[in-house]
């Protein structure tokens, strides 16, 4: 097998699953077990450096569930493993996801133990999709949650995603750009994310361009010839000398000078931005902005903003692109009901809330004051966050909002968060999430029943 075929697509994504999902599926098949199961996707504990998570990835998951098929190629590979009987493989050929899905919309802030998504389906269907559903919701939520912090730190200044080169692979690169945009990032440098998702694309120039000319000034003039309204990268050799060259070009060019900004990519960004601002202003170039990049994260952006450095926008790469301080979540996708009965495991330190659930968010005077996780069907105070999005394997009408709508909703939902929760610093106490008395009682009941099993 050459890497030529080594891409995940809608055609082979059915195999993007842990082997045990398929071996368990065959065991269910062998036992004739096909009752309805409820699986719940939730985060057990937030990372220490996150006050909330921004749910993301649902669109990918719904699309996957609608398209899920085992192709002849997939069946042939499974057959080779010597683990599966023909009757089961035949059932996989006919496999479709026919279940219902309830989920919080993309862009919703969520907290620990709150279901982001619940799948209600024949147990085999809910089981087989586990790995893919977790993979996509987990990493897109990780990245959206990180980006929300950077956007918060930027306090209204432009933020552009420069992270594609250091993200974990091609799928991450495109979907992170989308997740970042949901979280409020203005644009991405990733062209394919623009093509596939309509994320606005942006870019400046690289050091290599400057280096390929004998003189920095020649590089600037050449780039301006192709893009009069461009952003010029000025730190290749000496930042202050670079900005002075821009000023000289502006003077020589006169009213045709339309360069929008200069970019700093190294050194003391606060000090350099002030010196560049002064040089530009002195030359009457107060309309030329200053854009900064180079090792930025939410803390460095916040420092720059707090210092009132004259920086108009930030290019943020690695730290946001991999969510460097918290690249993974303690996320779980757990069976919590089967054949009409609540289920849970009792494994040390890994609590599960049984049955179908709903999350209620109470908002007072425009601020979210607390959530309650209750049983499905309870009428508790607050707005229910989980919505039916798929029924019988088909996406419900109106449950495919466009990216702009998702982004707008994310901004509005985050605006409801208490100030200390949306802040970058760790909030103490954390956002209050309680369990309804009915759910607590049901948990105790199921636990007693399960614990009594020999």
Span near a second copy by CB under 8 A; candidates 92-100, 157-165, 384-392, 425-433: 157-165
The two structure tokens encoding residue 196: 């596939």
Q: Distance of CA 324 to CAs 39, 142, 143, 257, 319, Å?
A: 29, 10, 10, 40, 5
Q: Determine how many CB atoms are found less than 10 A away from the CB of residue 50.
A: 24
Per the rule left: phi > 0, alpha: psi between -120 and 50, beta: everything else, 245 is: alpha
Q: Which of 63, 376, 378, 408 binds a second copy (CB under 8 A)?
A: 63
Q: Which is nearer to a second copy, 211 or 286 (CB)?
A: 211
Q: Which of 74, 151, 259, 285 binds a second copy (CB under 8 A)?
A: 74
Question: Cβ 304 to a second copy, closest distance in Å?
Answer: 16
Residues 384/115, Cβ–Cβ less than 8 Å = no
Contacts of 39 (CB under 8 A, 6+ apart): 118, 119, 121, 126, 127, 130, 333, 334, 335, 336
Residue-wise DSSP of 22-64? HHHHHHHHHHT---EEEEEEEESS--TT-S-EE---HHHHHHH
Question: Cβ 155 to a second copy, closest distance in Å?
Answer: 25
> Is the omega angle on the peptide bond into residue 64 within 30 degrees of 0, that is, cis?
no
Q: Which of 346, 405, 441, 444 binds a second copy (CB under 8 A)?
A: 346
Task: Determine if 347 is a binding residue for a second copy (CB under 8 A).
Answer: yes
Q: Restricting to residues 4-43, which ones interact with a second copy according to CB under 8 A?
A: 4-10, 12-13, 15-24, 26-28, 30-31, 33, 37, 39
Task: Determine if 279 is a binding residue for a second copy (CB under 8 A).
Answer: no
Q: Which is nearer to a second copy, 230 or 414 (CB)?
A: 230
Q: Which is nearer to a second copy, 103 or 417 (CB)?
A: 103
Q: Restricting to residues 188-247, which ones interact with a second copy according to CB under 8 A?
A: 189-192, 194-198, 201-212, 214-217, 222-223, 225-227, 230, 235-238
Span near a second copy by CB under 8 A; candidates 72-80, 279-287, 363-371, 437-445: 72-80
Span near a second copy by CB under 8 A; candidates 95-103, 165-173, 280-288, 410-418: 165-173
Task: Determine if 172 is a binding residue for a second copy (CB under 8 A).
Answer: yes
Q: Restricting to residues 366-425, which ones interact with a second copy according to CB under 8 A?
A: 400
Residues 220/231, Cβ–Cβ less than 8 Å = no
**Using CA atoms, how far apart are residues 160 and 339, in angstroms rounded to an integer?**
48
Helix pair angle (298-306, 130-154), 10° resolution: 10
Q: Which of 116, 292, 329, 385 binds a second copy (CB under 8 A)?
A: 329
Task: Determine if 314 is a binding residue for a second copy (CB under 8 A).
Answer: no
């Amino acid at each position: 097998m050459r890497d030529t075929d080594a891409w995940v697509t809608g055609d082979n994504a059915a195999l993007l699953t842990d082997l045990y999902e398929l071996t368990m599926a065959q065991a269910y098949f062998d036992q004739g077990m096909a009752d309805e199961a409820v699986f719940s996707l939730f985060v057990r504990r937030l990372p220490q450096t996150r006050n909330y998570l921004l749910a993301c990835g649902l669109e990918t998951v719904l699309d996957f569930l609608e398209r899920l098929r085992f192709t002849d190629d997939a069946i042939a590979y499974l057959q080779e493993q010597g683990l599966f009987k023909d009757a089961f493989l035949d059932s996989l050929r006919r496999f479709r996801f026919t279940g219902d899905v309830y989920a919080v919309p993309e862009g919703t802030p969520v907290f620990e133990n709150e279901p982001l998504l619940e799948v209600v389906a024949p147990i085999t269907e809910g089981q087989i999709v586990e790995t893919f559903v977790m993979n996509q919701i987990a990493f897109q939520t990780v990245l959206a949650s990180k980006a929300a912090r950077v956007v918060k730190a930027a306090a209204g200044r432009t933020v552009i995603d420069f992270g594609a080169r250091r993200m974990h692979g091609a799928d991450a690169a495109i979907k992170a750009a989308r997740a970042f945009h949901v979280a409020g990032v203005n644009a991405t440098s990733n062209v394919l994310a623009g093509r596939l998702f309509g994320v606005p694309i942006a870019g400046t120039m690289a050091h290599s361009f400057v280096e390929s000319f004998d003189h920095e000034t020649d590089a600037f003039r050449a780039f301006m010839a192709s893009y009069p309204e461009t952003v010029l990268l000025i730190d290749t050799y000496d930042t202050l000398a670079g900005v002075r060259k821009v000023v000289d070009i502006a003077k020589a060019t006169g009213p045709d000078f339309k360069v929008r900004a200069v970019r700093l990519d190294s050194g003391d960004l606060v000090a350099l931005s002030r010196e560049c601002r002064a040089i530009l202003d002195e030359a009457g170039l107060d309309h030329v902005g200053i854009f900064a990049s180079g090792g930025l994260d939410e803390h460095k952006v916040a420092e720059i903003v707090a210092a009132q450095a004259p920086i108009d926008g930030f290019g943020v790469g690695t730290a946001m692109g991999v969510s460097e301080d918290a690249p993974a979540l303690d996320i779980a996708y757990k069976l919590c009901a089967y054949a009409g009965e609540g289920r849970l495991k009792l494994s040390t330190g890994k609590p599960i809330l049984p049955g179908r659930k709903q999350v209620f968010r109470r908002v007072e005077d425009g601020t979210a004051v607390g959530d309650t996780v209750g049983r499905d069907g309870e009428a508790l105070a607050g707005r229910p966050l989980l919505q039916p999005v798929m029924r019988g394997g088909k996406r419900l009408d109106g449950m495919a909002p466009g990216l702009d709508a998702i982004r707008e909703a994310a901004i509005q939902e985050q605006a409801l968060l208490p100030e200390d929760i949306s802040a970058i610093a760790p909030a103490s106490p954390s956002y209050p999430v309680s369990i309804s008395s009915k759910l607590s009682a049901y948990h105790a009941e199921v636990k007693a029943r399960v614990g009594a099993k020999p």
